[in-house]
C-alpha cells in the first residue's frame, strides 16, 4: 500500500483513512530485504522539517531517500512526476545518482494506472530538476528523489489513487525503480 503524504485540499481530508498504510509497508519492505525509516507516523501529525530529513538520511548512511507526496495543483494538471536536485551538498556524484534514481523510478511508474505528468518534465520523462528542495539539496552521500504520485485536485488522479490496487501498483513500481536506480 502507498501512503500518500503531503498537503491535501480540505475536500480530501475525509478520505484519509483510505490512503493510510504505514507498518504493513515496513513489513513488506523488510521481507524484500530493505530497511525503511518513516519520518511521519500518520497523516495527522507533521514530520520533521525537510532539511532535517536530509540530515537523517545522511546520518543513517541510507542507500536512498525517497520522499512520497501527492500534488495539489490545478485540476487540469495530472499525473506523476519525479523531482531531483541538480545541486546537492554531495556534489556531482550524488547529483548524477539522484538523476538516475529519478529516471528509474519514473520508468517504473509508467506501468501503473497513473499517467506521466502533463505539467512537469515531458510525457516521455516526467522529471522536474529543482534546486529549492531542502530534503534533497542537503544530501551528502545519499541519492534522493521526491515522488509526486499524482495530483489530488485532478478527478482522474484522485479516483485512481483512491483504489488500493493502484496504490499497491504505485508502491511496487517505486520500490522496483529504486532497486534499478541503485544498481546504476
Output phi, psi for 149, to 5 deg.
Answer: -75, -10
Coil/strand/helix, residue 184? coil
3-state helix, strand, coil in the chain (%, to 5): 45, 15, 45
Residue 18 a catalytic site member: no
Identified catalytic residue from 18, 96, 103, 148: 148
Contacts of 8 (CB under 8 A, 6+ apart): 16, 70, 72, 152
End-to-end Cα, the chain, rounded Å: 26
Q: How many helices (H) and strands (E) does the chain have?
A: 7, 4
Asked whether the beta carbons of 60 and 38 are under 8 A apart, the reply is no
Residue carrying the nine cell digits 520508468: 107
Q: Is the dihedral of CA 75, 80, 86, 91 positive or negative?
A: positive
Q: Which residues belong to the active site?
A: 148
Amino acid at each position: 500500500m502507498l501512503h500518500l503524504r503531503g498537503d491535501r485540499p480540505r475536500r480530501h481530508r475525509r478520505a484519509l483513512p483510505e490512503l493510510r498504510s504505514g507498518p504493513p509497508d515496513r513489513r513488506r519492505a523488510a521481507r524484500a530485504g530493505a530497511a525503511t525509516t518513516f519520518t511521519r507516523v500518520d497523516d495527522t501529525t507533521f514530520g520533521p522539517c525537510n532539511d532535517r530529513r536530509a540530515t537523517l538520511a545522511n546520518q543513517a548512511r541510507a542507500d536512498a531517500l525517497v520522499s512520497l507526496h501527492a500534488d495539489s495543483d490545478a485540476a487540469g494538471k495530472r499525473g506523476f512526476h519525479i523531482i531531483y536536485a541538480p545541486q546537492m551538498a554531495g556534489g556531482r556524484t550524488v547529483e548524477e545518482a539522484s538523476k538516475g534514481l529519478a529516471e528509474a523510478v519514473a520508468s517504473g511508474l509508467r506501468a501503473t494506472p497513473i499517467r506521466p505528468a502533463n505539467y512537469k518534465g515531458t510525457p516521455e520523462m516526467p522529471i522536474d530538476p529543482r534546486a529549492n528542495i531542502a530534503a534533497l539539496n542537503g544530501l551528502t552521500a545519499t541519492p534522493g528523489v521526491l515522488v509526486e504520485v499524482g495530483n489530488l485536485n485532478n478527478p482522474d488522479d484522485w479516483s485512481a489513487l483512491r483504489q488500493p490496487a493502484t496504490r499497491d501498483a504505485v508502491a511496487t513500481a517505486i520500490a522496483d525503480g529504486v532497486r534499478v536506480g541503485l544498481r546504476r
